[in-house]
A and B are shown apart, each in its own frame.
Chain A
């Protein structure tokens, strides 16, 4: 059978995952860095929550809403960063030419980056969730199936954004690197991580409801404050995620084609 662009090889995907794994374990400061900032964030918001709940009846009844928000936000943010940093490693190492000239397909490359985003997220977040139990008695794992629904939706959004950023990096080179670090912060105010959507001006609420993570954070508040799991919100988030993911893949392929036209895949081409 003639190899085609649509072929998918688990072997080649595994090769890329192995490459990123070697990279990750070759540097203990990088491993530590995965845990450091999520832990600092969680502690800061946890203490703030403790302080606020001592002075407000509403927050006293909404135990863990800030810690829950910061942990779920970190799934979204670290998921995208884990994807984008693995991709950036190829650019920093000037290895893209080697990969693009190899039989590796874009779908295999993206799959490896998605797997690594989960690996990096697990290394960073799992210890922090146990810290949250130890310091504040907040058990993210007790959300059970709801947590699984939150996670699936947040990681899908993070991958979609990661795929789009990878396309921008292919097309524009390291000049677009800052996008990888900052793009997700645009989602921080719009997806209402720490406050309800109702707080936003009316017109901005339409924007917020077009972003899948908004449904997750509203769902989290419904669970923690009203003790209700809103499956409807999760299904709506999933529908928006399917559209967002498809748009991201489409944009990535267009940007890759444009990178071939502009000659940015081979840095230093004369």
Chain B
């Protein structure tokens, strides 16, 4: 993690309102290059909207987001080729084979050696057996691995992951986490990970941002959060925040 360089992702007083509803309510945080951060929160906490604004898919109502120095969404084309994401809210075209899907996205991202990159990812993420199978005929776990492969095609400097191990069995999920950790170590990529899996966040993330009702409720390292809430697991911390238990009382 590079604490001296400008933030890879800088979120400043970010607000997103949809008519009467406020999805994100004035959040701020900065992620240093090479960091891996977990974004926690219950359903409707504003995680996906926050990630969508970081990706430039949703325009903020107020505040600003910058990624690798580019203001999103206005300057997104300066950095989109250096970013990627994986989310359960998007799919790959079902009737194309995995190889066809990956090669189309590789061409969109301007990957130089498309066949070589797909072969490498197929080996890394164990896709070789179903590379030539239509994406619609894959199991949920296989789809997640393919989606992850798509997100790594362009070797992104900023990787946004929304539930990256959802639908995976514990063995495959662990294997994916190991791969992501290795990718981060090798490339120095900045990773922001939204997850409901507390073990995953505890294991992978050096920092955790907990959101509730569109606001940042807490933001610290997993160890300090456990100490502050006097809890043994991040899941208990999450439940304390989600259920509104006063943390000073808890302490």
- In this complex, what residue of B is CB-closest to A30? B95
Give the shortest distance, in Å, between B76 (CB) and chain A (any CB).
8
Contact assessment for A12 and B108 in the assembled complex, using a CB-CB cutoff below 8 Å: yes
Contact assessment for B81 and A3 in the assembled complex, using a CB-CB cutoff below 8 Å: yes
Contact assessment for A266 and B77 in the assembled complex, using a CB-CB cutoff below 8 Å: no
Q: Which of A99, A105, A260 contacts B77 (CB 8 A)?
A: A105
Contact assessment for A7 and B96 in the assembled complex, using a CB-CB cutoff below 8 Å: no
Interface residues of A in 57-110 (CB under 8 A from B): 89-90, 93-105
Contacts of A15 in B (CB 8 A): 104-105, 107-108
- In this complex, what residue of B is CB-closest to A265? B57
Q: A5-B77, A23-B96, A102-B80 are in contact. Are A270 and B48 (CB under 8 A)?
A: yes
Q: A103-B77, A105-B77, A270-B44 are in contact. Are A94 and B59 (CB under 8 A)?
A: no
Q: A263-B49, A266-B48 are in contact. Are A4 and B77 (CB under 8 A)?
A: yes
A260 vs B58: C-alpha distance when bound (angstroms): 4
The answer to whether the Cβ of B134 comes within 8 Å of any Cβ in the partner chain is yes
Contact assessment for A269 and B90 in the assembled complex, using a CB-CB cutoff below 8 Å: no
Contacts of A89 in B (CB 8 A): 93
The answer to whether the Cβ of A268 comes within 8 Å of any Cβ in the partner chain is yes
Contacts of B229 in A (CB 8 A): none
Contact assessment for A94 and B91 in the assembled complex, using a CB-CB cutoff below 8 Å: yes
Q: A3-B77, A15-B108 are in contact. Are A268 and B96 (CB under 8 A)?
A: no
The answer to whether the Cβ of A142 comes within 8 Å of any Cβ in the partner chain is no
Q: Which of B56, B93, B96 contacts A101 (CB 8 A)?
A: B56
- In this complex, what residue of B is CB-closest to A263? B58
Q: A15-B107, A104-B108 are in contact. Are A266 and B57 (CB under 8 A)?
A: yes
A98 vs B105: C-alpha distance when bound (angstroms): 9
Q: Which of B18, B44, B91, B100 contacts A95 (CB 8 A)?
A: B91
Give the shortest distance, in Å, between A87 (CB) and chain B (any CB).
13
The answer to whether the Cβ of A182 comes within 8 Å of any Cβ in the partner chain is no
Contact assessment for B100 and A97 in the assembled complex, using a CB-CB cutoff below 8 Å: no
Contacts of A11 in B (CB 8 A): 107, 110
Interface residues of B in 1-52 (CB under 8 A from A): 16, 18, 23, 43-49, 52
The answer to whether the Cβ of B175 comes within 8 Å of any Cβ in the partner chain is no
Contact assessment for B107 and A12 in the assembled complex, using a CB-CB cutoff below 8 Å: yes
Contacts of B168 in A (CB 8 A): none
Contact assessment for A269 and B108 in the assembled complex, using a CB-CB cutoff below 8 Å: no
Contacts of A7 in B (CB 8 A): 77
The answer to whether the Cβ of A254 comes within 8 Å of any Cβ in the partner chain is no
Contact assessment for A93 and B49 in the assembled complex, using a CB-CB cutoff below 8 Å: no
Q: B68-98 CB contact bits vs A (8 Å, 1 = yes)?
A: 0000010001101101110111111111100
Contacts of B107 in A (CB 8 A): 11-12, 14-15, 18
Interface size on A, residues (CB 8 A): 43
Give the shortest distance, in Å, between A196 (CB) and chain B (any CB).
45
The answer to whether the Cβ of A262 comes within 8 Å of any Cβ in the partner chain is yes
Q: Which of A5, A14, A18, A93 contacts B91 (CB 8 A)?
A: A93
Give the shortest distance, in Å, between A93 (CB) and chain B (any CB).
4
Q: A180-197 CB contact bits vs B (8 Å, 1 = yes)?
A: 000000000000000000
A104 vs B154: C-alpha distance when bound (angstroms): 14
Contact assessment for B52 and A269 in the assembled complex, using a CB-CB cutoff below 8 Å: yes
Contact assessment for B18 and A262 in the assembled complex, using a CB-CB cutoff below 8 Å: yes
The answer to whether the Cβ of A267 comes within 8 Å of any Cβ in the partner chain is yes
The answer to whether the Cβ of B55 comes within 8 Å of any Cβ in the partner chain is yes
The answer to whether the Cβ of A261 comes within 8 Å of any Cβ in the partner chain is yes
Give the shortest distance, in Å, between B53 (CB) and chain A (any CB).
9
Q: B217-248 CB contact bits vs A (8 Å, 1 = yes)?
A: 00000000000000000000000000000000
Contacts of A102 in B (CB 8 A): 80, 105, 108-109
Give the shortest distance, in Å, between B211 (CB) and chain A (any CB).
11
The answer to whether the Cβ of A203 comes within 8 Å of any Cβ in the partner chain is no
The answer to whether the Cβ of B215 comes within 8 Å of any Cβ in the partner chain is no
Q: A2-37 CB contact bits vs B (8 Å, 1 = yes)?
A: 111101010110111011001100110000000000
Q: B190-228 CB contact bits vs A (8 Å, 1 = yes)?
A: 000000000000000000000000000000000000000
Extra inter-chain contacts (5) besides given A15-B105, A94-B89, A260-B73, CB under 8 Å: A11-B110, A23-B93, A263-B16, A265-B57, A267-B90
Provide 27 A-B residue pairs closer than 8 Å at the C-beta atoms, listed in order of the A residue.
Answer: A3-B81, A5-B77, A7-B77, A15-B105, A18-B104, A19-B93, A22-B100, A22-B104, A89-B93, A94-B89, A95-B91, A98-B105, A101-B55, A101-B57, A101-B83, A101-B85, A102-B105, A102-B109, A261-B59, A265-B57, A266-B52, A266-B89, A267-B90, A269-B52, A269-B58, A270-B44, A270-B48
Q: Which residues on B are within 8 Å of A, measured CB to CB?
A: 16, 18, 23, 43-49, 52, 55-59, 73, 77-78, 80-81, 83-85, 87-96, 100, 103-105, 107-110, 134, 150
Minimum-distance CB pairs A-B, first 4: A15-B107, A97-B90, A268-B89, A94-B91
